[in-house]
Amino acid sequence: MHIAIIGNGISGITAARHIRKHSNHKISVISSETDHFFSRTALMYIYMGHMRYKETKPYEDHFWEKNRIDLVRDYVHSINFKGKKLQLKNQEISYDKLILAVGSTPNKFGWPGQDLDGVQGLYAYQDVETMEHWSKDLKHAVIVGGGLIGIEMAEMFLSRKIPVTFLVREKSYWNGVLPSEESAMINRHIEAHHADLKLSTELKEILPDKNGRVRAVITNKGEEIECQFVGLTAGVHPNINFLKDSELALAKGILVNEYLETNIPDVYAIGDCAQMQNPRKGRRPIEAVWYTGRMMGETVAHTICKKKTVYNPGIWFNSAKFFDIEYQVYGDVPAKLPEDYKTLYWEHPEGNRAIRILYHKNTNEVVGFNLMGIRYRHEVCEQWLANKTHIEEVLQHLSLANFDPEFYSTYEKDLVQKYNQQNGRELVLSNRSSTDAVAFFLGKNTQSKADIQQGMKRNLMLGILLILLSFILPFLFTVKLPIMIVSGLLVGLGIGLLLLSFSQRQVLSGLE
Amino acid sequence: MKGIRIIGLVAFVIGLMLFVVSLGLSDYSLDMDSLESGIDKDYHFNFVEKESGMMKGKTYTSMWAFFLDYDQMMSNAQSAILNDVKTNLKLTTADGDYWSKILKNEKINKVKFLVARDSAQGFLLRKRGLFLWLSLILICVGALMYIFPSMNLLPGIKNDGIFHSGLHSRGALGITIGIFMTVFYIVLYWFPHLMANWVVLVQPIKSMMMEGKADQWFLYGFIYTIAILIMGIRFMIKYRHNKYQLVRTFSVMFFQLCFAFALPNMIRALQGVDLKNAWPLDYSFFFEYRINALIEEGNFGLWLLVWGIVLMAIVVPIITYFYGKRWYCSWVCGCGGLAETLGDPFRQQSDKSLKAWKIERYLIHFVLVFAVVMTILVVLSLFTDKLGFSYNVRAWYGFFIGSIFAGVIGTGFYPLMGNRVWCRFGCPLAAYMGLIQRIKSRFRITVNGGQCISCGNCSTYCEMGIDVRHYAQRGQDIVRSSCVGCGICAAVCPRGVLKLENGTVDIDNRGIDLRTIHVPMDSVGIL
Ligand SMILES: Cc1cc2nc3c(=O)[nH]c(=O)nc-3n(C[C@H](O)[C@H](O)[C@H](O)COP(=O)(O)OP(=O)(O)OC[C@H]3O[C@@H](n4cnc5c(N)ncnc54)[C@H](O)[C@@H]3O)c2cc1C
Ligand code: SF4
Ligand code: SF4
């Protein structure tokens, strides 16, 4: 069977990899963007000089041949669904099954001047090349649209000391997703990085110079801002233009059922371009993020090679980085607090770290975690959410979730204290925070408590014995050096065993 | 701010130039005492003294002329000795005595350094204080002035422009620095007489610490320590938002300053002893001249001998079991210390390919076996004379591994192959701890569920060339023998995916989970 995949992004490539794992089908991956799969999420780092294109490729170039995944660098103009044929620029490819993983393209809202030189979005690899091109004599850049790609673009220019004006239509940065405190934190952070953040401001018009390059923009407030570059980052939409006028059912994206099947047999759609006909509760029909693309790729491979599998993305999670502030979310944290949710929010006095937990008003079960500048464990949060754990249970064991590097200050205590204050409670944070405690919590331990206890006793006895022996030895033998060495080794070993025993005690007490 | 950096850079370059120029600022007049004590054998010295007439009382303004005459003098003496051995003593190459009587080239070269150091006089010696402190201050203050303004950046990962800069990505500047460092090591190991003036220059510092004359190893230790301290400060500023990095860097700076430099140079009994240097990195630990020296020391020496053995056989494996090899490689070790500080700007140069990993595994385990076999031979040869060839084996090891690999390539090639070439491909101690780390250690790098976006920052900045992303994007914990636990992968990850951890209750399953597989396991079967 020949499986053709259009698109070599995360979703298409994940599908190809898993199909190869499960089967021997012939696989072709077609893309017009680059020869090899690269990480779109790393585009900013190429421009900033943290990496080159080469470093963003997750697999070495020999990977594809070794795994018999044929890569075709070409553009698909049209698809003959009846004849199962793809029309490329200079060839035709027939397929038995087709996976559409064609991704997104940046939104343009018909602004006057949106096609001038120096005006562009940031999505494809070529966009970084053109950004590089226009950066040469760039004195000022304007970025339109306060989302994740906009702030990345701001960071890109600022890394080269190119001043940036950031036009955000909303009253506060990304406040359609972030609750207001977090959103305000990012406003402050953007300004601390010396980007000129203009909130509640929209783009009205882009003005050309005599060579057809952007010279300035005009905002809805009538302000004219000189610039030689305009970044259009007001979101993306599925890249389905070339599929219009075919029998494929489209809405905003390519419509798929819960098996990721389109209305045409043997044709699937995954990743950014797929629109779920019946999204799960609490999920959006199009979720244009890396992780969902990966999960869809895996699911569709399973459906094709093994048995029909429902796409189940599990509990929502996402992450991002706003300049220096990392952001993670697990579960449901809407920007506006729903009626039946309560929120517990703690923010560091310096205003660059925060923890938010949402829970149900009536049942008290946790529904979501939002982290700013603090890392939490995916699996632990997921388990609490899946088990609808009581907020107080979560709070008492919150240290289990902390994922910050060793030696970092932890703030779980402050959050618990905040909860106690607000609710007149006296919860105490348990000291379960070790890797071992987490393993036990997640049921990933291979040793039981009894095993550890036994080992602890054995090591203690043996350790004491060895140390005693090492003291006795010199009295029994007269050869000096060899006995000193043997004794030294025995003492070392003995102390080692005592330490081991001691650490096992620590482990046990950390599990309580 | 830019101004301060430029002034700093200028000061640094002037200081460095002063230092380099000082190499040619001495006159030389043969120091007979030094010659005599260096040759250390009356039979030889008698001949040399006869030949020394050509140099005696002469003042050389050029180092090269001095060395030319020295070589001539010694080669005359050498032939005279050879002649005497053959005709008067009537020895032939078959006699054991023959070899101990003749004057060997190695001896001539060794004495060359001592004589050059002690014969130096004139301008540099008169102005020694000025040159030493001026160049030292210019270099250190200049470097700090260049480094400090980055405090003005907001804390956070700032790798901006690394791959646009020739220094960091094998451009002209990077290659120049690589050549400079390589030449430095070649001179240090094989032509130390060429840097005799530097040794003269740092004598006041040696005198402040302990009586006696500085040699090239004191000079090397001094430069090494300064490099770790200054570049350590740079590192701490760069990662000042990350406490793990702060603590760890403080630790390597402390161990270098105290254990590797100060103690051995201030306490006579500890002279030449680095308490933290473990076999097989310290490959000559079991050589008889060192064992004899320790035994002669009396009780303290014996204690050191026992410590060395316990360190390598018990302490190293036990701590590695608890914390992984990071406790040594990126917290204590001097080679690691230099790599983490001076070498940090070059960490992205390490090769991440599968091929490099293959070469790494062959090479480093080969060196381990080499070191073990050599040591066994050496220890056996303490008890029998039949193992004369073990001297050749250790000479090869010293030359190829100890000097060329660890020094010239290991450090000289920082800008070309990354800062851990030696630690990754060559260090037998790293190989030894790596085996423990891989097979049974609590250490692992945990991957945070499915949060990885495959961006590649972790792999790019892993100095050991580990393709961290390969594991991270599968949601698989990283358990690799080469990981030195520097924690930079976790620091640069923009999604908070990685965490260095120690845990015991899942020790045999550390690297098994694939957390990004989300289709029900029963029907998948992991591949
Ligand atoms: C700058 C940036 C940063 C991002 N950061 C994050 C992040 O931090 N976290 C996150 O979760 N998500 C992030 N995203 C979103 C994420 O990258 C996308 O969700 C993901 O890449 C989508 O993958 P995909 O495989 O569905 O499509 P794509 O990666 O878009 O791949 C589609 C491929 O198909 C090719 N193609 C399309 N049509 C044709 C055709 N007709 N013929 C031939 N080839 C065709 C395209 O050229 C493209 O190469 C980011 C996106 C951008 C642009
Ligand atoms: S894997 Fe991470 S911690 Fe280990 S050596 Fe590489 S960068 Fe350092
Ligand atoms: S672990 Fe982090 S740095 Fe590494 S590829 Fe994944 S997201 Fe990037």
Task: Write out chain A residues lying below 8 Å of B246, CB-based.
Answer: 407
Range A418-440 average pLDDT: 93
pLDDT above 60: residue B410: yes
A323 within 8 A of A43, measured Cβ to Cβ: no
- Three-state secondary structure call for residue A202: coil
Which atom of ligand 3 is closest in space to residue A42's alpha carbon? 8
Q: What is the CATH number of the domain that holds A29?
A: 3.50.50.60
| Residues within 8 A of A (CB atoms), B 235-254 only | 241-244, 246-247
Nearest-neighbour CA in chain A from B164: distance (Å): 6
In this structure, is residue A467 part of a structural domain?
Answer: yes
Q: What is the dihedral of CA B319, B320, B325, B331, to 10 degrees?
A: 0
| Residues A154 and A228 occupy one common structural domain | yes
pLDDT above 90: residue B386: no
For residue B309, give the DSSP letter.
Answer: H
| Residues A126 and A220 occupy one common structural domain | yes
| Residues A33 and A131 occupy one common structural domain | no
CB contact under 8 A, B523 and A302: yes
Q: Return the minimum-mean-pLDDT range out of A76-85, A391-400, B50-59.
A: B50-59
Alpha-carbon span B366 to A380, nearest angstrom: 43
Closest ligand by atom to B418 CA: 2
ipTM: 0.95
Q: Specify the amino acid at residue B521.
A: M
Range A263-290 average pLDDT: 96
CB contact under 8 A, B504 and A192: no
From the list B163, B315, B354, the residue facing A49 with the nearest CB is: B163
Q: What is the pLDDT of residue A258?
A: 95
Range A239-266 average pLDDT: 96
Task: Search chain B and give the residue with CA nearest A310.
Answer: B519
Per DSSP (E only), the strands in A149-235 are: 164-167, 196-198, 203-208, 214-219, 224-226, 229-232
Alpha carbon of A58 to ligand 1 centroid (Å): 14
In this structure, is residue A332 part of a structural domain?
Answer: yes
In this structure, is residue A443 part of a structural domain?
Answer: no
pLDDT above 70: residue B523: no
Alpha carbon of B227 to ligand 1 centroid (Å): 45
pLDDT above 90: residue A475: no
Task: Write out chain A residues lying below 8 Å of B487, CB-based.
Answer: 405
| Residues A21 and A96 occupy one common structural domain | yes
CB contact under 8 A, A379 and B154: no
CB contact under 8 A, B154 and A491: no
Mutate to test the pocket of ligand 1, among A272, A316, A323, A326 (most ligand atoms within 8 A of CB): A272
Establish whether the linkage from the previous residue to A279 is cis, with ω within 30° of 0: no
Task: Write out chain B residues lying below 8 Å of A128, CB-based.
Answer: none
pLDDT above 50: residue B525: no
Task: Search chain B and give the residue with CA nearest A193.
Answer: B154
CB contact under 8 A, B243 and A488: no
**One-character DSSP codes across B35-56:** HHHHH--HHHHHHHHHHGGGTT
By alpha-carbon position, which residue is closest to atom 5 of ligand 2? B483
Pocket of ligand 3 (CB under 6 A): B 452-458, 468-469, 472, 493, 495, 497-498
pLDDT 10s digits, B215-254:
999 999 999 999 999 999 999 999 999 999 999 999 999 9
Nearest-neighbour CA in chain A from B402: distance (Å): 27
Does A50 contact chain B (CB < 8 Å)?
yes
pLDDT 10s digits, A215-241:
999 999 999 999 999 999 999 999 999
Mutate to test the interface with B, among A43, A45, A260 (most CBs of B within 10 A): A45
Q: Specify the amino acid at residue A480.
A: K
Query: Who has greater pLDDT, A364 or B271?
Result: A364
Q: How many domains does chain A have?
A: 4
Closest ligand by atom to A238 CA: 1
Whole-angstrom CA distances from A12 to A69, A250, A258 are: 11, 19, 18
3-state secondary structure A353-371: CEEEEEEECCCCEEEEEEE
Whole-angstrom CA distances from B154 to A67, A148, A324, A350, A371 are: 44, 20, 8, 13, 20
Which atom of ligand 2 is closest in space to residue B486's alpha carbon? 8
Cβ–ligand 2 distance for B488 under 6 Å, the answer yes
pLDDT 10s digits, B480-503:
999 999 999 999 999 999 999 999
Q: Return the minimum-mean-pLDDT range out of B176-190, B235-249, B284-298, B426-440.
A: B284-298
Nearest-neighbour CA in chain B from A468: distance (Å): 17
Q: What is the pLDDT of residue A415?
A: 97
CB contact under 8 A, A445 and B505: yes
In this structure, is residue A311 part of a structural domain?
Answer: no
Alpha-carbon span B230 to B251, nearest angstrom: 14
Closest ligand by atom to A47 CA: 1
Q: What is the pLDDT of residue B520?
A: 63
Mutate to test the interface with B, among A10, A46, A55 (most CBs of B within 10 A): A55
pLDDT above 90: residue B446: yes
Q: What is the pLDDT of residue B527?
A: 38
Task: Search chain B and give the residue with CA nearest A317.
Answer: B451
pLDDT above 50: residue B524: no
Locus of tokens 């517990």: A344
Task: Write out chain B residues lying below 8 Å of A328, CB-based.
Answer: 451, 495-496
- Three-state secondary structure call for residue A96: coil
pLDDT above 90: residue A105: yes
Q: Specify the amino acid at residue B128.
A: R
| Residues A95 and A131 occupy one common structural domain | no
From the list B163, B456, B502, the residue facing A58 with the nearest CB is: B456
| Residues A57 and A89 occupy one common structural domain | yes
pLDDT above 80: residue A512: no
Q: What is the pLDDT of residue A342?
A: 96
CB burial class (10 A; 0-12, 13-18, 19+) of residue B151? exposed
Domain B443-524 - what CATH class?
alpha beta
pLDDT above 50: residue B526: no
| Residues A379 and A421 occupy one common structural domain | yes
From the list A306, A404, A434, the residue facing B503 with the nearest CB is: A434
Mean pLDDT of chain B: 91
Does B166 contact chain A (CB < 8 Å)?
no
CB contact under 8 A, B523 and A307: yes
Whole-structure pTM value: 0.94
The phi, psi pair for A326, rounded to 5°, reads -80, 150
From the list B295, B313, B453, the residue facing A39 with the nearest CB is: B453
From the list B306, B322, B455, the residue facing A45 with the nearest CB is: B455
Domain carrying residue A323: 317-430
pLDDT 10s digits, A28-39:
999 999 999 999
Last residue of a domain, one of A210, A234, A258: A234
What does the domain layout of chain B look like in residue ranges?
A: 27-121, 165-193+205-442, 443-524
Does A446 contact chain B (CB < 8 Å)?
yes
| Residues within 8 A of A (CB atoms), B 274-303 only | 295, 302
| Residues A496 and A460 occupy one common structural domain | yes
| Residues A137 and A218 occupy one common structural domain | yes
Locus of tokens 């010295």: B45
Mean pLDDT of chain A: 96
Last residue of a domain, one of A172, A203, A234: A234
Which atom of ligand 2 is closest in space to residue B500's alpha carbon? 3
Q: What is the pLDDT of residue B521?
A: 54
Structure tokens at B374: 């050599």
Q: Return the minimum-mean-pLDDT range out of A216-220, B2-6, B52-56, B368-372.
A: B52-56
- pLDDT band of B518, cuts 50, 70, 90: confident
Q: What is the CATH number of the domain that holds A326?
A: 3.30.390.30
**In percent, how much of chain B has pLDDT > 90?**
68
Q: What is the pLDDT of residue A331?
A: 96
3-state secondary structure B82-104: HHHHHHHCCCCCCCHHHHHHCCC
3-state secondary structure B173-210: HHHHHHHHHHHHHHHHHHCHHHHHHHHHHCHHHHHHHC
Nearest-neighbour CA in chain B from A212: distance (Å): 30
CB contact under 8 A, B506 and A378: no
